């Protein structure tokens, strides 16, 4: 497919572009795992340590990035070398849908993909069950780090009836001791498998007696085609834990 040569520094956006317009991606990060067939795109390092010189050498028409996932100095270096960089900001579901439109339709000139309309419809049908449950959501261990204020994942959980007890914290990703977490009196701990890979044997044992929902991190934290099935996948995991 002809069109602009794109380098994506964000796994979510890599999937969004690859599914919508196969062939546009010239480079992706080592963390870009979806879709499975990205063989035509060069690997240019991690989200936090991309090979800036290699990206410049590739002469892409556009680099797509995210203000949270990528480092400002790397993006500044790309711009200084004459590379156009589009930076997204995603703090909740409406903003994610808007930014996907901005990238795919606005920047790349694509027709609005069907999956994006399906994602909007899927989330519009969500009807949270009864009284919200309270939870904290670790995203890292050693040290323990949880979702705080203004996070995309926190917004998705809120739409599914889960109230994050740290949603009003001054920090977006506060570090919290296990003792403090255990004392919150929450109904549930939500443990995604990324960025830290929590599993049945790594995470729940730190909070004995507290139900643990092990959730797919891609469906909780990625904004792209995964949003279509995210309400169903996450709701199923949450129900199983309760």
Q: Which residues pair with 174 in a beta bridge?
A: none
Question: Region 84-110: what's the mean pLDDT?
Answer: 97
pLDDT of residue 128: 76
Over residues 129-176, the pLDDT tens digits come to 778 999 999 999 999 999 999 999 999 999 999 999 999 999 999 999
pLDDT of residue 3: 74
Helix (H, G, I), strand (E, B) or coil at 187: coil
Q: Tell the burial category of 221 from Cβ atoms under 10 Å away from its Cβ (0-12, 13-18, 19+).
A: buried
pLDDT of residue 2: 62
Architecture of domain 6-112: 3-Layer(aba) Sandwich (3.40)
Over residues 11-63, the pLDDT tens digits come to 999 999 999 998 999 999 999 999 988 988 999 999 999 999 999 999 999 99
Token pair in block for residue 62: 């556009």
What burial letters (b/e) apply to 67-97, b meaning 16+ CB within 10 Å? ebbbeeebbebbeeeebebbbbebbbbebbb
| % the chain with pLDDT above 90 | 93
Same topology for domains 6-112 and 128-241, yes or no?
yes
What is the third-level CATH fold of 128-241? Rossmann fold (3.40.50)
Token pair in block for residue 224: 């792209």
- Residue 83, pLDDT > 80, answer yes
Do 161 and 186 form a contact (C-beta atoms < 8 A)? no
pLDDT of residue 173: 97
- The pTM of the full predicted model, rounded to 2 decimals, is 0.93
| Residue keyed to tokens 């904290």 | 136
- Residue 1, pLDDT > 70, answer no
pLDDT of residue 103: 98
Question: What does the domain layout of the chain look like in residue ranges?
Answer: 6-112, 128-241
Q: Which of 215, 90, 89, 225 is nearest to 157 (CA)?
A: 215
């Amino acid at each position: 497919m002809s069109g602009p040569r794109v380098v994506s520094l964000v796994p979510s956006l890599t999937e969004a572009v690859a599914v919508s317009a196969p062939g546009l991606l010239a480079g992706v990060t080592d963390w870009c795992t979806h879709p499975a067939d990205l063989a035509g795109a060069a690997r240019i390092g991690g989200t936090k340590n991309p090979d800036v010189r290699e990206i410049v050498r590739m002469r892409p028409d556009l680099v797509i990035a995210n203000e949270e996932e990528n480092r400002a100095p790397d993006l500044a270096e790309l711009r200084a070398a004459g590379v156009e960089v589009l930076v997204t900001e995603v703090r909740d579901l409406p903003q994610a849908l808007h930014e996907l439109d901005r990238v795919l339709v606005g920047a790349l000139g694509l027709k609005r993909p069907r999956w994006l309309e399906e994602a909007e419809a899927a989330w519009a049908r969500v009807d949270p069950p009864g009284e919200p449950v309270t939870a904290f959501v670790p995203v890292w261990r050693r040290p323990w780090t949880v979702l705080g204020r203004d996070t995309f994942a926190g917004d998705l959980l809120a739409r599914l009836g889960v109230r994050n007890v740290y949603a009003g914290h001054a920090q977006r990703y506060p570090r919290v001791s296990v003792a403090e977490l255990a004392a919150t009196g929450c109904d549930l701990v939500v443990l995604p498998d990324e960025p830290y890979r929590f599993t049945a044997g790594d995470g729940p044992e730190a909070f004995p007696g507290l139900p643990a929902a092990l959730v797919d991190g891609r469906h909780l934290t990625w904004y792209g085609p995964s949003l279509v099935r995210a309400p169903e996948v996450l709701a199923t995991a949450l129900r199983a834990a309760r």
